[in-house]
Chain A
Amino acid sequence: MSSHRKNIFLGLGIAILLALVPLLTKRNDIINIMVLIFLYICLAQSWNILAGYTGQVSLGHAAFFGLGAITTRILWVGGYPFLMAFTTGGLVAVVFALIVGHPALRLRGIYFAIGTLGLAQILKITVGNILPTVADLPGDYIATYNLIPRYYLFLILAVIMVVVVYLVGHSKLGLGMVAVREDEEAAEASGVNPFRQKMISLAISSFFAGLAGGAFAFYQVSYYHDLPFSPTWTFDALLITFVGGVGTIVGPIIGAFFYAIFREFFARAFPELHVFIFGTLFILVVLLLPGGLVEAVSRIRRLIRAKKTDTGFS
């Protein structure tokens, strides 16, 4: 319980500090990087629920992100209040998830992975092409554009996302998900309904991916018309989660932080170099360090502790 409490206080403290950032600095570049970090946290964490906790490696995450983005954008630009557009975006993503969930989750392992990849590509080609008109915000929207509310929207979304993953991870539901990940047959034998667990996991995952897309639609002034459905969103989520530490709560946060920083740092001289770096790290993680950076840190800590006790005795 006490560690529970400690975690909550720590998280709360960080969230409050982050909420103060816009008051302390007026530099848009810093705010933008922070927005990017929050976006990546949502993207990765929502993927992590499905893949990390429940073991269903989806390559179709971009579909939900895209649906959320495009729904939010259309409604918002169409004159509806933003929050309504935003929530609807998340819901549309969930509805789509519930529709495709049944056939998709019947597929196992790599079949699920390539099936969801195909599904996302279908959406990219169809929806991404049919509705290109909202790629640029209308002039009056641009005139009143203000970065600060976007910052808070992303911050709140990221905080909620992390809290949800934390709560799920520490609940019976989360235990069921992990059981399904470890061994579906065994989970079923011990009374867990694997399909239900996977479906709930997919629903949560797609809802937050949709919201992340909606926030992106609120934030991005203009984009290439099928960008919301670009498979890059899926790939980003995978890289961030694995390099950070798949199936952990801290991993995607650390991963998102470094991914966004690298991206900004190399943006001028070597655009996309962050993907190369993370791609390489990703391969190394899969081969050598399945727990990602989180595991690396805890290993190093253990080493240092061992050293300390060593010198203490000698």
Chain B
Amino acid sequence: MNLQVSAQSLIFGIFVGGLYGLAAVGLSLVFGVMKMLNVAHGELLMLGGYVTFWFFSLYHIDPFLSLLPSAFVLFLIGMGLYKGLFSPLAKLHEEVKIKNSLLIGFGLSLVFHNLAIRLWTADERSVSVFYSGWGFSLFGLRFPFIRLAGLVLATIVILALQQFLTKTYFGKAIRATTENWESAALMGINIEKTSMVSFALGAALAAMAGTIVSVGYAIHPAMGLEWTLKALIVVVLAGLGNIGGAFVAGVLLGGVESVSALFVGPYMEVVGLVIFLLVLELRPQGLFGKRSE
């Protein structure tokens, strides 16, 4: 196998992997705080992509500039979804709560998928900016500007999130709630508010990933399931609720997928899924997770 080709696909794999990581971080955050797995996460990502697409085609706003506006729109949508659909579950018994949140997420994903077809048709769309073709070569390897920018932005967002979670009082409250919500409540933390903000933040993170996907790649109404699966794989690899690990695992998955594509071609996605099932079976706490008890 040609080394050049391998290195090139590894690089592209890492570019995508950064987005897997970004997509997974939001899912992981929400799971950590609320112990709910939002399977509509991929659809939130899709909506974020379309919001950016809208900003671009209606108002000619540069997609990278609409990273934050799009995140803000999804933050609001996330708050609404939490208040309307997920908050009522909070009172339920743990196991029922998890199951019902899965079901509601599932229903939401179908509804959003359909809504997107209605609003934007089932076609693939992509934001094509004037600098789409820019890039540079290094040692004969290509680095397209928009993909590189996507990875850099994803990294910046994750680092900012880390800072938020470790340095601010509210971030600490989120982590405390993740570790032990009863104790967190006994500290005077408003669990309901923390959950709402976390859920909205998860949606905003999904939107940022969707925005980057809409520039470097393509968006379409059916992308939700793909991205939810990617995020799930990454989250399981990293251990549920492990935010730092999620980004690393995302990059890892992207790299593994694209390198294995050289050998198994279109079946590369199976590689990630197989790893996913193995980890689920053998190490439910994830590759980077600590075994509890």
Direct contact of A and B (CB under 8 A): yes
Contacts of A5 in B (CB 8 A): none
Q: Name the distance in Å between B160's Cβ and chain A's nearest Cβ.
A: 29
Q: How far is it, in angstroms, between the C-alpha of A59 and the C-alpha of B273 when the chains are bound?
A: 14
Interface members, chain A 263-314 (any B CB < 8 Å): 270, 272-273, 275-276, 278-280, 282-283, 286-287
Interface members, chain A 20-68 (any B CB < 8 Å): 57, 59
The verdict on B37 contacting chain A, using a C-beta distance below 8 Å, is: yes
Mask, A114-157, CB within 8 Å of B = 1, is 11011101100110010000000000000000000000000000
The answer to whether A283 touches B99, judged by C-beta atoms less than 8 angstroms apart, is: no
Given A110, A119, A270, which contacts B102 in the complex, CB threshold below 8 Å? A110
The answer to whether A119 touches B277, judged by C-beta atoms less than 8 angstroms apart, is: yes
Q: Name the distance in Å between B89's Cβ and chain A's nearest Cβ.
A: 8
Q: How far is it, in angstroms, between the C-alpha of A110 and the C-alpha of B110 when the chains are bound?
A: 18
Contacts of A101 in B (CB 8 A): none
The verdict on A113 contacting chain B, using a C-beta distance below 8 Å, is: yes
Q: How far is it, in angstroms, between the C-alpha of A3 and the C-alpha of B94 when the chains are bound?
A: 37
Contacts of A278 in B (CB 8 A): 110
The verdict on B98 contacting chain A, using a C-beta distance below 8 Å, is: yes
Q: How far is it, in angstroms, between the C-alpha of A107 and the C-alpha of B276 when the chains are bound?
A: 13
Q: Name the distance in Å between A94's Cβ and chain B's nearest Cβ.
A: 20
The verdict on A256 contacting chain B, using a C-beta distance below 8 Å, is: no
The answer to whether A109 touches B99, judged by C-beta atoms less than 8 angstroms apart, is: yes
The answer to whether B111 touches A103, judged by C-beta atoms less than 8 angstroms apart, is: no
Known contacts A109-B98, A109-B99, A110-B37, A286 near B269 by CB under 8 Å: no
The answer to whether A118 touches B98, judged by C-beta atoms less than 8 angstroms apart, is: no
The answer to whether B98 touches A103, judged by C-beta atoms less than 8 angstroms apart, is: no
Known contacts A110-B98, A126-B267, A272-B114, A286 near B277 by CB under 8 Å: no
Given A238, A273, A280, which contacts B106 in the complex, CB threshold below 8 Å? A238
The answer to whether B99 touches A57, judged by C-beta atoms less than 8 angstroms apart, is: yes
Q: Name the distance in Å between A300's Cβ and chain B's nearest Cβ.
A: 23
Mask, B243-261, CB within 8 Å of A = 1, is 0000000000000000000
The verdict on A172 contacting chain B, using a C-beta distance below 8 Å, is: no
Q: How far is it, in angstroms, between the C-alpha of A289 and the C-alpha of B108 when the chains are bound?
A: 17
The verdict on B115 contacting chain A, using a C-beta distance below 8 Å, is: yes
Q: How far is it, in angstroms, between the C-alpha of A287 and the C-alpha of B100 when the chains are bound?
A: 8
Please report the total number of B residues contacting A with Cβ < 8 Å. Answer: 38
- What total count of A-B pairs have CB within 8 Å? 99
The answer to whether B280 touches A111, judged by C-beta atoms less than 8 angstroms apart, is: yes
The answer to whether B110 touches A107, judged by C-beta atoms less than 8 angstroms apart, is: no
Name which residue of chain B comes closest to A114, CB basis: B232
The answer to whether A114 touches B37, judged by C-beta atoms less than 8 angstroms apart, is: yes
Contacts of B98 in A (CB 8 A): 109-110
Q: How far is it, in angstroms, between the C-alpha of A57 and the C-alpha of B98 when the chains are bound?
A: 12
Size category, A interface: 35 or more
Contacts of A121 in B (CB 8 A): 229, 269, 273
The answer to whether A115 touches B102, judged by C-beta atoms less than 8 angstroms apart, is: no
Contacts of B88 in A (CB 8 A): 287
The answer to whether B284 touches A111, judged by C-beta atoms less than 8 angstroms apart, is: yes
Given B106, B277, B284, which contacts A118 in the complex, CB threshold below 8 Å? B277
Known contacts A107-B281, A119-B277, A122-B273, A287 near B110 by CB under 8 Å: no
Q: How far is it, in angstroms, between the C-alpha of A123 and the C-alpha of B15 when the chains are bound?
A: 27
The verdict on A4 contacting chain B, using a C-beta distance below 8 Å, is: no
The verdict on A257 contacting chain B, using a C-beta distance below 8 Å, is: no
The answer to whether A118 touches B267, judged by C-beta atoms less than 8 angstroms apart, is: no
The answer to whether A231 touches B225, judged by C-beta atoms less than 8 angstroms apart, is: yes
Contacts of A111 in B (CB 8 A): 280, 284
Contacts of B114 in A (CB 8 A): 272-273, 275-276, 279
Contacts of A119 in B (CB 8 A): 277
The answer to whether B99 touches A110, judged by C-beta atoms less than 8 angstroms apart, is: yes
Q: How far is it, in angstroms, between the C-alpha of A57 and the C-alpha of B107 when the chains are bound?
A: 14
Q: How far is it, in angstroms, between the C-alpha of A231 and the C-alpha of B106 when the chains are bound?
A: 12
Given B110, B117, B225, which contacts A279 in the complex, CB threshold below 8 Å? B110
The verdict on B287 contacting chain A, using a C-beta distance below 8 Å, is: no
The answer to whether B110 touches A113, judged by C-beta atoms less than 8 angstroms apart, is: no
The verdict on B270 contacting chain A, using a C-beta distance below 8 Å, is: yes
The verdict on B266 contacting chain A, using a C-beta distance below 8 Å, is: yes
Q: Name the distance in Å between A266's Cβ and chain B's nearest Cβ.
A: 11
Mask, A234-251, CB within 8 Å of B = 1, is 010011001000000000
What are 23 A-B pairs with beta-carbon distances under 8 A? Answer: A57-B103, A59-B106, A107-B281, A107-B284, A110-B37, A114-B280, A115-B281, A118-B273, A122-B277, A125-B273, A126-B267, A129-B267, A231-B225, A239-B110, A273-B114, A275-B113, A279-B107, A280-B107, A282-B107, A283-B85, A283-B107, A286-B100, A287-B100
Binding site for A on B (CB under 8 A): 37, 39, 85, 88-89, 95, 98-100, 102-104, 106-108, 110-111, 113-115, 117-118, 225, 229, 232-233, 236, 266-267, 269-270, 273-274, 276-277, 280-281, 284
Given A106-B281, A114-B232, 4 additional A-B pairs, CB 8 A: A109-B95, A109-B98, A122-B277, A275-B114
